[in-house]
Structure 1
Amino acid sequence: MKKIIFLLAISFALVSCKKDTKENGKLNIVTTTTMITDLVKNIGEDYINIQGLMGSGVDPHLYKASEGDVSKLVNADIIFYSGLHLEGKLVDVLEKMEHMNKTTIALADALDKNTLIGSEYFASNYDPHVWFNIHYFKQFAEKVATVLSEKNPENAAKFLENKNAYLTKLDALQKTIEATIATLPKEKRVLVTAHDAFNYFGKAYGFEVVGLQGISTATEAGVQDVQKLATFIIEKQIKAIFVESSVPKRTIEALQAAVNSKGHDVKIGGTLYSDALGNAGTVEGTYIGMFEYNVNTIVNALK
């Protein structure tokens, strides 16, 4: 029944949204996650109209399209999404948009799959949290600029200029976080979080990463998972564990209680932004600000 209602919603949107999609000469762009929205804004600036489906604190693993979302997608000139099955519950509608000859871009398709981290939990067979490797996010930027330029060639020079400026900022971010991480002894670089969103971060910067819920938040952590990780924390003498803004904190609080009950004091080191950025208008509401905030929070807590 839910599938039938969903298909009816798409049909209604198709019938009611036949207007010319280009407004004021600007491309209408729809994005999924907050990371992708921020990226496209930086490259498109005022030369595009952009609507992001997901907001701060939204878990893309569990996000389902509303009828309003379908209307936005139908009216889009370009749809940018992360891919690798991150937006798992949106796959059907994104595929329908592609079959309608919408320009639908999975940015992760631009990456060399041979360099990605494997995962048995996703249909793509890869860990989708690729934005925690800045090198990959730079490739996302290249792809966005290329697609915007192809669709709006009269502003191609501006898109190229914005992309180059943004890549320079990402280079600066890379140097900043490397300097911060260098202050944390290697033996203390063990990151325990609510779910396994930080594997690419760990691989890039030398952290052992353990997530209580695994790579996807679609499955809950069980009592045995909590007890097993509690033992690991005690053996490693880990000082802090972290909650995530897009994942309920109750599982990490249960883990903290399990560790403390065994006589080891572990604190919650802060909230990390994993699958979504912070609130719009804040430093953490940007990809660069989020990344720097996360690194500072991790390093300060684990010291």
Structure 2
Amino acid sequence: MKNIILLLLVLSIVSCTDKNEENDMLEVVTTTTMITDLVENIGGDLIQVNGLMGSGIDPHLYKASQGDFRKLDNADVIFYNGLHLEGKLVEIFEKMNEQNKTAIAISNGLYEKTLIGSEYFASNYDPHIWFDLEYWNQITNYVTERLSELDPENKAAFEANRDAYLEKLKALKTELSIKVEELPKEKRILVTAHDAFNYFGRTFDFEVVGLQGLSTATEAGVKDVQRITQFIIENDIKAVFIESSVPRRTVEALQAAVKDQNHEVNIGGELYSDALGSAGTEEGTYIGMYKHNVNTIVNALK
């Protein structure tokens, strides 16, 4: 509620002073780094993209700053994930839609019945939809359609950029499928800090186990560590993985608990789950992130 009150105060101040009326370029605000990268691929230099979150930022716990409110007020359109991924921003986006601001959840471009459900999460659906490559194709089309509606003069350019990006995603899926085949199916067990990789598991036939739930707002308890410790030992799992946007201490505690049971498990590397890598690096793109994750997982487990 405090965030919404602050938003209204900032909008009342900023809307009278700071809007750049001379710039005809579409102003787009995005939440996560994955969405920022996608919109930049589609819009190219025809739009201005401002991402709220950077590398290593956990969207489950993210709180908007006053600078974020300024970006939101200046935006012509806001793209966010939805499915309660940005848990602390949902009320703000809903309020903005009521005030005729265009805030679009990219998850609206998917068929709800195909989503992975969870009885333990507020939305009843797993929000980590970017790890399903077919979903990312559908979302690419959906975002292109919405941008074209807002800026019809550049529709042809958006569609050309979309087609080029879809070809890259097609090549990515082929490359990743070949890499995953290096790992026997019985070794495709992925243990991570939280349940961010279920869509990845469905895509590439992995069993996925997370210490925390779908949201990092849910802390892992002693029983969770004990349960997964036994799972690791019983399945002779060679490696577990930390995540760039989640503190590593929980996975390190798991590793220590396994060692206390006279068993060894390595930390196989760092995966990018809820955020991409640093801007300007290969992992700072969706495609580079996905390549890094698959290479890290396969090389550590085989």
TM-score, normalising length: structure 2:
0.97
Partner Cα distance (2:4, 2:203) in 1: 40
Counterpart residue type for residue 261 of structure 1: D
Q: Distance in 2 between matches of 1:286 and 1:10?
A: 34
Amino acid at match of 1:189: R
Q: Is 1:193–1:210's contact at 8 Å kept on the other side of the alignment?
A: yes
Q: Are the counterparts in 1 of residues 36 and 51 from structure 2 also a CA contact under 8 Å? A: yes
Shift >6 Å, 4+ stretches:
none
Identity of aligned residues (%): 63
Structure 1 window deviating more from structure 2 (279-288 vs 68-77): it is 68-77
**Residue type at the aligned position of 1:117:** I
Q: How many pairs align?
A: 301
Instruction: Give the SS at the match of 1:65.
Output: coil
User: Cα gap change, 1:292/1:77 in structure 2, threshold over 3 Å: closer, same or farther?
Assistant: same
Q: Distance in 2 between matches of 1:165 and 1:246?
A: 30
SS in 1 for 2:194: coil
Alignment deviations for residues 213-240 of structure 1 (CA, whole Å, 9 cap, x no partner) = 0211001111111011000000000000
Question: Does structure 2 retain, via aligned residues, the 8 Å contact 1:22–1:28?
Answer: no
Deviation at 1:9, TM superposition (A): 4.2
Larger displacement relative to structure 2 (132-141 or 23-32): 23-32
Deviation at 1:260, TM superposition (A): 1.0
Letter in 2 for 1:145: T
Is the counterpart of residue 108 in structure 1 residue 107 in structure 2?
A: yes
- 1:60-139 matched pairs, under 5 angstroms: 60-139=59-138
Distance 1:126 1:4, change over 3 A: closer
1:110-166 Cα shifts (integer Å, max 9, x gaps): 101111100123332100001100100111111111111111111111000000000
Structure-2 separation of matches of 1:26 and 1:51 = 13
Q: Residue type of the partner of 1:263? A: N
Distance 1:49 1:247 in 2: 30
Cα distance in structure 2, aligned partners of 1:233 and 1:21 = 56
Does 2:12 match 1:14?
yes
Aligned twin of 2:296: 297
Deviations 1:55-93 (A, max 9, x none): 000000000111111111111001000111110110111
Cα distance in structure 2, aligned partners of 1:5 and 1:189:
42
Check conservation: 1:86, 1:128, Cα contact below 8 A.
Answer: yes
Query: Are the aligned partners of 1:10 and 1:70 in contact in 2 as well (CA < 8 Å)?
Result: no
Distance 1:29 1:22, change over 3 A: farther
Q: TM-score, normalised by structure 1?
A: 0.97
Query: Matches of 1:70 and 1:230 in 2, distance apart?
Result: 43
Structure 1 partner of 2:230: 231
Residue of structure 2 equivalent to 1:194: 193
Going from structure 1 to structure 2, the CA distance change for 1:284 and 1:83 (only over 3 Å counts) comes to same
- The match for 1:288 is 287
Note the 1:197-216 alignment, pairs <5 A: 197-216=196-215
Structure-1 separation of matches of 2:278 and 2:113: 34
Alpha-carbon shift at residue 204 of structure 1 (Å): 1.0
- Unaligned ranges ≥5, structure 2: none
Question: RMSD of the TM alignment (CA)?
Answer: 1.2
State the distance in 1 between where 2:11 and 2:114 align. 39
Instruction: Name the CA distance, whole Å, in 2 between partners of 1:120 and 1:63.
Output: 23
Alpha carbons 1:244, 1:271 under 8 Å: kept: yes
Q: How many angstroms apart in 2 are the aligned matches of 1:146 and 1:265?
A: 50
